[in-house]
Every structure is written in C-alpha cells, then in structure tokens.
Structure 1
Amino acid sequence: MHRHARTSSRLALLGAALVGLLSPLLVQPAQAAAPVYVALGDSYSSGTGTRSYIADGTSCQRSTSAYPSLIAAARGYALNFRACSGATIPDVTGTQLGALTSATTYVTISVGGNDAGFADVLTECALPWWASDCNGAIDGAQAYVNGSLPGQLATLYSSIRSRAPQAKVVVVGYPRIFQGEDCNALTWFSPEEEARLNQMADLINTRTQAAASSAGFSFANPTSAFIGHAVCDSPEWLNGLSNPISESYHPNVLGHSGGYTPVVSGAVGAALAVTGDVVAASEASGADQAALQRQYAAADRTIEPEVVEAPDLTTPEVRRAARKAGIDIDRFVERTTR
C-alpha cells in the first residue's frame, strides 16, 4: 500500500510538472488581427502620376508608391486598396463601398474633382486664350461645387458611416496644382488662369471639409504641404503635361511620399516619414494587393478614367478661333513652342 501511494504521488508530481511546462503553449492568446484599412476614392488616392502600377487587370492605376500603400506598409494595416482613377461619387458608391464592414478600422477617401469635371476644365484652360473659354469652364465647375457637391458628399459620407460604424474616417483634399508659371511646351495657362484654378481646388477643399465635419470625419488638407512643389516648381511634386497623358497634373512619387503621406497619416495618428524600409515593404505588398483587387476587376472596369487632353491647335474649331482673333496660327505655334 505504501509503495502504491509513493508511486501515485510521484506520478501526480510528474503530471503537474508537465502541465506546468505545456500550459504556456496551450493558453497562448491568439495574435491580434491587423487593423483593416480601406482606401476609397479617385486618382489622387490610387496613385496616378507615380508611373508604376500594380497588375490588377484594371485601368485604376493603383500604385505601391501611393499614400494608402505607404501608410499601410508603415503601420502594418491590412489594406483593401479600392481607390480608382476616374472615380466619381456614384462610382465610389457603386463599386467601392462594398469593401467596408463593421470590422473596418480606418477609411480614407478623396473624391469630388472628377464630379466637378476638373480634367475637362484643365483641358479647356490649357488652350491659348483666343481658343478657349477658361473662365466659363471654371464658372461652370464652381457652380457645381457650390450647388450640388455638398449634398452628394453628405449622402456618400452617411453611407460610409453606416457600413463602417466604428471606423476612423479621413477625407482627403486636393493640392493647388500651379504656382503662377507655365513652363510646359504646348500648354498656355496664363497666371490669371492658374490663380483661378488654384482657387477652384481651394473651393473643393472648403466644401469637402465642411461636409466631412458635419459627418464627424477628419479632413486632411494637403495644400500647405505642396507649396513650393507645384507644377514647374523645383522639386516638382505634381506632374505637368506628361507622356503618357494620364500622368498629367497628378502627384508623382515625391508628391505621395513627401506630401500626402505625412498629411494623411497625421490625420489618422502620428505623421509618418517615409523611409527606405517603408518603400520596400510597400513594394513587396504589390502582388498580394493586385490579387485582392482582381476580385473587383469587373466592377472597376466600368469606371472611365478622366484624362486631361493635350491642346490640339489643328482642329477646325481652333483654326476658326484663330482667324476670328486675327492670329496666324502657324506662326503662333512656331513662336511659342521654340
């Protein structure tokens, strides 16, 4: 009886020791899931202008050099990169909001410029004064921004909140494109036109910020960050007229790393500085992000890119305008494109 008691006692002690050794492995808590970040919006969020895009089977021009990818890489967020070149408010509603859920942690969105027809306005204003109605085009866009845009944004923001009730939402604005000088061949923006175009960007930001505030969202305004880095500045963070044309008047790689990323990340938390490690991590995420976005490719292909058109002085309309203004168009072209 004593031998059995001693044996049982030893087995009990051994069993307790084994449980003690194994219990840390058995009761390890599950690793916390990465915060879910959904990037919505248009070309200023997708990364158009950076000249390198993920192969997701669309024309959305999503780039690992764009601020959503850089922020996600730096902070370890699980990114769903839905922003797409050409997207309007109806496009965001119809093709992008489905990515939002009650588990979404962060949302960023830039939209409204395409709805206001900003690409068409730039196309008109890039022509010589005698061939364009730049002021008329700006007036029409401003009427939309003052009249229709606020209500459309309010409806969109309400939909975002209902789909992602717990998310921190940051609405992202647009920079001023110009600095008063046009150094690009084959465009004829006057200083006065550039000033009005910058005022239009400010107006969109003002109306967008007001709508964001009403919805309880934060607003990231990039205007100050891009001062000294507009088209024709040095260094230039915004492309001028470019080849291919779709790159025109959009932030380049420096515009996203030095301009947008600190501003937007600062509205989400602490402002980020983009390091080489962040760039490398963002680039490494490209294949996985492309695979994720392919599931939405059919819907994304319904979005039509909004592209600035290069001035064409050979059209019958422009030649008629030249004759009416007393302009020898051939001499004008030769003189202004040397």
Structure 2
Amino acid sequence: MTAPAGRLPERVRLTPVQAAQSGAYVGLGDSYSSGEGVYDQDIEPVNDGADRCHRASGSYVPVIAETYRFAGGTAFYACSGATTGQLLTGQWGHPPQISRVGPEASLITLSIGGNDAGFSKVLTACIAKLPWSSACVDQDAAVEHRIGQLRADMLKVLRELRGRAPEARIVVLGYPRPFPQEPVASVDNLSADDQRWINGVARRLNDTVGSVVRDFDRAIAAFGGPGSAEYVDAYEAFTGHEVGRQQPFLNGLALDMDPINVNARSYHPTGEGYRRFAELINEQIAAGPGRPLNNYRLTTSP
C-alpha cells in the first residue's frame, strides 16, 4: 500500500511580528498620534480631511509603516482633539475613526484619553493663571472625576475595535511626563508645584488607561482568542528631554502673534518626540504582549 503524498495542513503559531504584519496597519487616536506637534499649515495634509485633523508625516505612524511590511497596507486616520467618544462618532464631519477598521486589520495603534481628561484645558488654565494663584492645582477634583469616567469609555473603544478586527494586535500608547520629575524652575508661568501636579495628572491618566488595556488583554487570553490589547507606558519616554530641558522632546508654549493665540503644537511632541514614540511602538511590535498569541496560519509541506 502506497503512503499518501504530502501531509495534512498544520497550524503554526505566528510570532508577534508575523501577527502584526499579516494584514493592515491602522493608525488611530488623538493629537499625540496625528502629529500635531510637527504639523505645518503650509504642508499638504497626509490624506483627505487631514487639514482639520492635523495628520502629519512626522508622526510616529508613517515611521512604523516604513519599518514593517504590512500585507494589507497602512491607513492613517488619527485626528487632533479626538476623545474616546469622537473616535466612535467622528469629528469635523469626517467618518468616525472606528469606521476605518475592518477584519483585515492586524495592527492598530492609538493614543486616546487625554482629551477626555481635559488635559489641554488643564494646561491652559495653569498657564493663564496669576503667578501666585493656586488655580492650577485647584482643578484636581474635576480632573480626577473625568479620569474616573474614562475607564468605561476606554473599555467601549477596545470592545468596538476588537469587534471590527478580532485578530488584530491593539497597541495603546500612553502619554509622556511633560516636566522633569523634580522641577527646579518656573516654566511658562508654571511653578515647580504646578509642574509636579501636571506630571501627576499624566501618571494617573496613564495608570487608568493602562489598567483597562491590561484587563482587556487578560480576558482575550483567558478565552484563548486571537489578537491582543497591549499598553505602551510612555510616561518616562522623554526623561532628560522634558519641557524646560535644553533639548526637549515636547514643544513648550508656542504663541501666534497675529492675532495672539496659543498655537496647537504647544505641549505636543517635537519630531524627536514622535521618533521616540516610534521606537517604543516598534519595540512593542517585536516583543508582543508578554504571552503567546493565539494567531495561527496553516502550512502544508510535501
């Protein structure tokens, strides 16, 4: 009796990089993902509608797209000012970012939550206060309340993303500490105490988002599902390059003089900052979620 030729297909578990590259890469999120800090009105936007969303080629998303070869290509739809709710419902009359995600997505990156916490408004109130005023830290209770509400909203975002792309690796990027751990001088009308408090807000925000992401991934793993939810804690990412340092990775206060207005790039990453973000995410893509992924491909051999 002759043995049958060939073998039955075998399931081979994908490595983290293989899983990420197997389909499309979709870059979503807020201004820390869109590239607000390096956006220039004189440069043509990255894609349709980006003039309101400030999607810039200097963001980390294009860097990642050039680093890896994604079988399904890359889509970049992060939008400056986005909240968790707007990620699901849309901004400026554009389709919701979530609608850009389909089952072919294998890697999704995003930063989100800062606008839910009102981070830009918090900074504005701190900078615009009288120098001797406690108006900055007096916002603490309101900020704490908004961060507390973010937990349920973040969970909703993750559920929506996973429902649309059940095999994707979802990588959520946190926010950097904007000021040195131990500030020694006033910066942009922010005292050392103000700076320490703002750093603490960033820490609380990151801890909340990171906790939701990690819990969500544990649920995926418990049921043996494909894909993942992974958190990249960027809080210490700019250490030595915070606002007030000689080579900051964050823009400080930037003013437009005619008329006088705070430029949106204020307190957003510089080009070096976005490249640092790209390094962190590329490292995460290579490392994976710290557990085996349940993403497979079928192979046959003679």
Q: What root-mean-square deviation, in Å, do the aligned CA atoms of Structure 1 and Structure 2 show? A: 1.9
Among 216, 219, 223, the alignment partner of 2:231 is: 219
CA-to-partner distance for each residue in 1:30-76, whole Å, 9 max, x for gaps?
Answer: xxx97311111100000111134542343111111111110011213
Equivalent in 38, 55, 72 of residue 26 of structure 2: 38
Aligned residue for 1:62?
55
Q: Equivalents in 2 of 1:43, 1:112: separation in Å?
A: 11
- Offset of 1:134 from its aligned partner? 1.1
1:171 aligned counterpart, secondary structure: strand
1:247 partnered with 2:265: yes
Equivalent residue number for residue 92 of structure 2: none
Amino acid at match of 2:85: P
Question: CA deviation digits over 1:254-289, x for unaligned, max 9?
Answer: 0011x2011111112269xxxxxxxxxxxxxxxxxx
Cα 1:200–1:123 shift into 2, 3 Å: same
1:109 and 1:171 in contact (8 A); partners too: yes
> d(CA) in 2 for partners of 1:182 and 1:158?
43
Query: Counterpart in 2 of 1:294?
Result: none
Going by fraction, where is strand more abundant, 1 or 2?
2
Q: Which amino acid aligns with 1:92?
A: L
Q: Matches of 2:74 and 2:134 in 1, distance apart?
A: 43
When residues 83 and 182 of structure 1 are mapped into structure 2, their CA distance, relative to the original with a 3 A threshold, is farther
Partner amino acid for 1:140? A
TM-score relative to the length of structure 2: 0.73
Could you tell me whether the CA contact under 8 Å between 1:107 and 1:169 is conserved in 2?
yes
- Max radius of gyration: which structure? 1
After superposition, where does 1:281-300 map in structure 2 within 5 Å?
none
- Which residue, out of 141, 144, 155, partners 1:142? 144
Residue 68 (structure 2) aligns with? 75
State the distance in 2 between where 1:54 and 1:265 align: 27
How many pairs align? 235
- Counterpart of 2:125, as a letter, is E
Q: Tell me if the contact between 1:43 and 1:86 (Cα under 8 Å) persists in the aligned partners.
A: yes
CA distance 1:140–1:116, shift in 2 (3 Å): same
Amino acid at match of 1:133: A
Moved more, 200-209 or 47-56: 47-56
Correspondence for 1:93: 88
Q: CA deviation at 1:136?
A: 2.0
**In the superposition, relative to structure 1, how do residues 34 and 156 fare at CA in structure 2: closer, same or farther (>3 Å)?**
closer
Q: Does the aligned pair in 2 maintain the 1:171–1:219 contact within 8 Å?
A: yes
- Give the fraction of aligned pairs with identical amino acids, expressed as a percent: 32
- Would the aligned equivalents of 2:151 and 2:209 in 1 still touch at CA under 8 Å? yes
- SS of match in other structure, 1:246: coil
Q: Deviations over 1:99-148 (max 9, x none)?
A: 11111010011111101111111011112344561122233112211x21
Q: Distance in 1 between matches of 2:113 and 2:141?
A: 16
Residue 195 of structure 2 aligns with which residue?
Answer: 194
Structure 1 regions of 5+ residues with no counterpart? Answer: 1-32, 272-338
What is the distance in 1 between the residues matched to 2:130 and 2:281? Answer: 36
Give the Cα separation in 1 of the matches to 2:60 and 2:196.
Answer: 27
Structure with a larger share of its residues in helix: 1
Runs (5+) with no aligned partner, structure 2: 1-20, 90-95, 218-228, 257-262, 289-302
Counterpart Cα distance in 2 of 1:270 and 1:54? 35
Q: Structure 1 residues 136, 253: closer, same or farther in 2, change over 3 A?
A: same
Residue 177 (str. 1) matches residue 178 (str. 2): yes
Query: Secondary structure of the equivalent of 1:49?
Result: helix
